[in-house]
Amino acid sequence: MNNKAKKTIKVILIVIAAIIVAFLGVAIVYLSIYYHAGDRALEALKSDDLFVVEEISSGYLFDGPGTEKAIIFYPGAKVEEKAYAPLLRKIAEEGTDVFLVSMPFRLAVFGVNKADSIRSAYDYKEWYMAGHSMGGAMAAVYEAKHEAEYDGVILLAAFATKKISDNDRLLSIYGSNDNVIDAGKYNENKKNWPKESSEYVIQGGNHAQFGDYGIQKGDGDAEISWEEQQRITVDYVKMFLE
C-alpha cells in the first residue's frame, strides 16, 4: 500500500471517528434532557401510617390495602418515573397495588421486559400491564407476548402496536385536548385491541396531566385540572379492574 492510500484511509478513519463522537455527544445531550417530577409527585412518594411506598430494585411499589391484584406501570418517554406517583398512589389506595418501573435512559423501549423480575418476585392472583404514552405502547407489546400471564392492559394516551389476545382485556383512556398522541396511528392500531376493550375520552384533559411533570412540548391546553383528570382516570381504572 502506497503512502497516498495510507493517508486516504487515515483521513477516512478520522472522519468516521469524528462522526461517532458527534453522534454520541448528541445522544448524551438528548438523553440528559427530560421532564422532571413535580413537588406533588415527590410528596406522593412518601409513606405514612396508612400507606407504604417502597423503593425496590426496579422502581417503586405502591402497596395499598389490596392483596390480590397488581399493576406494572411503564412511564412515558423522557419523563421521570416519579412523576406518576400521585396517579398510581390513588389507584393503589383503591385496592390494586402498583409497581412503577424505572426505565433505562427514561425510555421504555429499552426496558420492555423489565416486568419479568417483578412478576417472578411477587405473588398476586391477577396481573395487569399499564403505561403512559410510549410506556403504554411498550406495556402493550409486553402484554401481547405474555398473554397467559396477564389479565389485561391499561393504556393512557397510548396505542397497542401488537395484537392483544382476545383472552385479555384492554382499557384505553386519553384526553380530548391531547395533541401529542398520533391520532391516526391510535385509530389504526385499534385493530390490535382484544374483543373486550373499553375506551374513554376525558373531556378537557390533555397528554401530560396523567403525570405531574409540567407542560409537555406540543401538548394541547387542558381545560380541567390535573387533579380532575387523574380522579377521572382512577375511576375508569377502578371500574375496569372490578
What are the DSSP calls for 3-69, one per residue?
HHHHHHHHHHHHHHHHHHHHHHHHHHHHHH--BPP-HHHHHHT---SS-EEEEETTEEEEE-S-SSE
**Higher model confidence: residue 23 or residue 197?**
197
Q: How far apart are CA 233 and CA 87, in angstroms?
A: 8
Q: How many CB atoms lie within 10 A of CB 223?
A: 14
6: pLDDT strictly greater than 90: no
Give the Cα separation of 160 and 147 in Å (integer).
Answer: 14
Is residue 79 a contact partner of residue 136, using CB atoms and an 8 Å limit? Answer: no
Is 80 exceeded by the pLDDT of residue 192?
Answer: yes
Residue 24 scores a pLDDT above 80: no
pLDDT of residue 15: 44
Mean pLDDT throughout 29-52? Answer: 85
Q: CB within 8 A of 24, min separation 6: which ones?
A: none
* Percentage of residues of the chain with pLDDT beyond 70: 87
Is 238 a residue whose pLDDT tops 90? yes
Inform me whether the pLDDT recorded for 68 exceeds 70. Answer: yes
- Residue 7 CA to residue 209 CA, distance in Å, equals 57
Q: In whole angstroms, what is the distance from residue 50 CA to residue 70 CA?
A: 18
pTM of the complete model: 0.89
d(CA 2, CA 184): 57
Per-residue confidence band for 208, with pLDDT thresholds at 50, 70 and 90:
very high
In whole angstroms, give the CA distance from residue 115 to residue 241: 19
Confidence of residue 3 (pLDDT cuts 50, 70, 90): low
Mean pLDDT of the chain: 90
Position 33 confidence tier, pLDDT thresholds 50, 70, 90:
confident
For residues 165 and 146, what is the distance between their CA atoms, to the nearest angstrom? 9
Which pLDDT value is given to residue 47? 94
